[in-house]
Structure formats: structure tokens, C-alpha cells
């Protein structure tokens, strides 16, 4: 199962995310859910760090990704992180046994 934790301030503003695991929907390399989640996560991470040029804490390894933006960059990254949340929540509705999303205050 893919576990996603969105990091948020007490007021609900998103500061980043942590993703771990594999969906188990299909073999590695053929899993459409893992591909969808990975692609969305990389798009948002690359847009934040390379397009918007925010100095985010980013960590990537096999089956894991985490990104955290500084609080001063919330306004710059709000739309990207909200879009990722919306996209992943849609995937969770389609594949409730394969992806779980949670939120934690930081």
C-alpha cells in the first residue's frame, strides 16, 4: 500500500508530504497506480524546486519521497501542493485498498 502523509500547519496550509510504499496493484514496472502517484509527486517536487525555485528539503529513494517547504514559501507553493492533494485523493477514491492519505500537523 502507498502511504501518503501531508504535512500541514494548524490552519490547514500544506508544507509538504511524505510518501512510502508500493501499491501492490501489479508487478513493478507495470503498476499504473504507482506510476500515477510517482509522476504527480515528481511533477510537484520539480516545479517547487526548479520552477518556483524554493529551497525545499527533498529526499528521494526507492519507494519513498518526502518534500518539505519552508513556512515562508507557503504562498508560492500553495497551488501545487493543493493540486497534488486533490489528485491523490481522487486516486484514493478509485483505489481505496492501495493508497491511504493522512494529514499531520507540524
**What does the H/E/C string look like for the chain?**
CEEEEEEECCCCCEEEEEEECCCCCCCCCCCHHHHHHHHHHHHHHHHHHHHCCCCCEEEEECCEEEEECCHHHHHHHHHHHHHHHHHHHHHHHHCCCCEEEEEEEC
Q: Return the minimum-mean-pLDDT range out of 12-16, 25-29, 30-34, 95-99.
A: 25-29
| Domains in the chain: ranges and CATH | 2-105 (3.30.70.1490)
pLDDT digit string, tens, across residues 29-88: 899 999 999 999 999 999 999 999 999 999 999 889 999 999 999 999 999 999 999 999
Predicted TM-score (pTM) of this structure: 0.93
Place 28 in a pLDDT band, splitting at 50, 70 and 90: confident
Amino acid at each position: 500500500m502507498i502511504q501518503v502523509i501531508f504535512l500541514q500547519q494548524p490552519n490547514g496550509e500544506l508544507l509538504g508530504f511524505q510518501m512510502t510504499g508500493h501499491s501492490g496493484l501489479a508487478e513493478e514496472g507495470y503498476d499504473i497506480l504507482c506510476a500515477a502517484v510517482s509522476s504527480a509527486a515528481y511533477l510537484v517536487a520539480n516545479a517547487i524546486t526548479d520552477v518556483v525555485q524554493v529551497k525545499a528539503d527533498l529526499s528521494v529513494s526507492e519507494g519513498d519521497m518526502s518534500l518539505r517547504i519552508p513556512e515562508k514559501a507557503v504562498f508560492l507553493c500553495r497551488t501545487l501542493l493543493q493540486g497534488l492533494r486533490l489528485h491523490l485523493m481522487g486516486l484514493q477514491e478509485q483505489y481505496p485498498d492501495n493508497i491511504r492519505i493522512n494529514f499531520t500537523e507540524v
